[in-house]
Amino acid sequence: MTAASTGTPSTALVLVINCGSSSMKYQLVEPVSAEVLAAGLVERIGEEQGRAVHSAGGQDREFTGPIADHGAALGIIADLFAESGRPLDPAGLLAVGHRVVHGGAVFGDPVLVDDHVLGQIRELAALAPLHNPAAATGIERAREAFPGVPQVAVFDTAFFRTLPAAAHTYAIDAQVAAEHQIRRYGFHGTSHQYVSGQVALALGRDITDLDQIVLHLGNGASASAVAGGIAVETSMGLTPLEGLVMGTRSGDVDPGVLFYLARVAGLDTDGLDTLLNRRSGLLGLAGVNDFRDVQTRMDAGNDAARLAFDVYCHRVRKYVGAYLAVLGGADVITFTAGVGENAPAVRAAVLAGLERLGIEIDAERNAVRSKEPRVISTDASTVTVMVVPTNEELAIARATAQLVQQG
Ligand code: AMP
């Protein structure tokens, strides 16, 4: 039991905040033990009717009503902490760790936030218009709410700063690319880094000895190739639109589709953005973006849902093949995030028939439901296939604590 759960204030706690444009997810985490003391989600910030759900000590508390902005959301979170009998005391916080989607070419490792850093995060808004302004606002409000508590920004792009030039460079006019910072940045880095580390721990291997493919299949989805703990390829690019099929995002399409639609359908930039980011992917193909709904429809014989499932799995499989070549063969392939952790049918479809490449899934192991890291390949498989739950909040809490304590 930690000091906090006995009611004694602990200064080792990290509040992790993940701001979206109209949402704020948070967790109060003890970074060493990984204990989550409270977690919650505030949604529909700025809309007529907002909602917050707070879980602590096995109990859920809810708020509904207007939530004007991210500052108001923090106030409601503080109220919910107080109602749950465990007020959020700034004196008990080691730091607040913020997930920031885009670090651009500026940020790699986590940084302590000051006015200059905040300005730079805002300047990167052009590269991540939905995400970075929200993160900056969240940081600003958290600085006001918790004066004197260090605020740390942890970037989703950081793990992919090591991509070799051949992997991160787009073959477009080099001057245009340089002028506008156009390159592949990659996202979900916190998850890919955490999961590849957990794989090494679970297998009792040194991470520097492992070539890994990590498949983060959640509402957003991305694949990475990690050689000896260093990221060498990933499927997302300048923005989180490239690569795999996602809930509402198309992933890879021929860029020619955009010019064609602009010409024949008169779509402007916003129309194209909305089409590919919000109306495509599983939603565009099957009419629903939640993978469980796709599977329910598919099981009921719906052809569009079947096609969505097939396109989704085919795309992941294609990336697995590509990354096997990039790495010159892999030791481990790992599934993570909502779909990767919970959909055995996807894992089976993605890796079916790859015995010639040394990849063989064990049907019984694949069917097991568990929150623990586990191997789902056969003993004969030369490539180990695993399911490893991701935990981005814990990874952010640990990175935050490390930065603050070493400073
Ligand atoms: P995440 O972004 O990691 O929270 O993942 C969200 C996605 O995981 C959604 O598309 C969910 O439908 C999917 N998901 C969660 N649980 C399951 C499940 N039991 N079977 C299939 N998909 C699931």
pLDDT in tens, 141-164: 999 999 999 999 999 999 999 999
Q: How confident is the model at residue 11 (pLDDT cuts 50, 70, 90)?
A: low
234 close to 251: Cβ distance less than 8 angstroms: no
> Average pLDDT for residues 264-293, to the nearest whole number?
96
Q: Are strands 24-30 and 13-19 parallel, antiparallel or unpaired?
A: antiparallel
Q: Is 219 annotated as a binding residue?
A: yes
Q: What is the pLDDT of residue 90?
A: 87
Distance from C-alpha of 199 to C-alpha of 203, rounded to nearest angstrom: 6
Spacing, Cα 261 to ligand 1 middle (Å): 31
How much of the chain exceeds pLDDT 70, in percent?
97
CA max distance for the chain: 66
Q: Is 346 helix (H, G, I), strand (E, B) or coil?
A: helix
> Which helix H or strand E contains 271, and what residues bound it?
helix 269-278
Size of the chain, expressed as the number of residues it contains: 407
- Whether the predicted pLDDT of 36 surpasses 60: yes
Separation of CA 112 from chain center: 21
- The answer to whether 57 and 9 are in contact (CB under 8 A) is no
339 lines ligand 1 (CB under 6 A): yes
Q: Whose CA is nearest to atom 23 of ligand 1?
A: 339
For ligand 1, the distance from its centroid to the CA atom of residue 312, given in whole angstroms, is 14
* Phi (first) and psi of residue 169, to 5 degrees: -95, 130
- In the predicted model, what is the mean pLDDT of residues 124-129? 85
Residue 342 Cβ contacting ligand 1 at under 6 Å:
yes
**Torsion sign over Cα 297, 299, 302, 303:** positive
Q: Quote the ligand 1 centre to 291 CA distance (angstroms).
A: 6
**Predicted confidence (pLDDT) per residue in 229-256, tens digit:** 999 999 999 999 999 999 999 999 999 9
In the chain, the percentage of residues whose pLDDT exceeds 90 is: 88
CA atoms of 180 and 399, how far apart (whole Å): 30
DSSP 159: G
Atom 8 of ligand 1 has which residue's CA nearest to it?
338
Give the pLDDT confidence score for residue 5 in this predicted structure.
42
Mean pLDDT of 107-134: 90
pLDDT score at 6 = 40
Given pLDDT bands bounded at 50, 70 and 90, which one contains residue 4? very low
Q: Does residue 343's CB lie within 6 angstroms of at least one atom of ligand 1?
A: yes
Distance 378 CA to ligand 1 centre (A): 25
Active site residue 252: no
292 CB less than 6 Å from ligand 1? yes
Distance CA 182, CA 243 (A): 16
Each residue's pLDDT tens digit, 38-53: 999 999 998 889 999 9
pLDDT in tens, 182-195: 999 999 999 999 99
pTM, 2 dp: 0.94
Atom number of ligand 1 nearest to Cα 216:
3
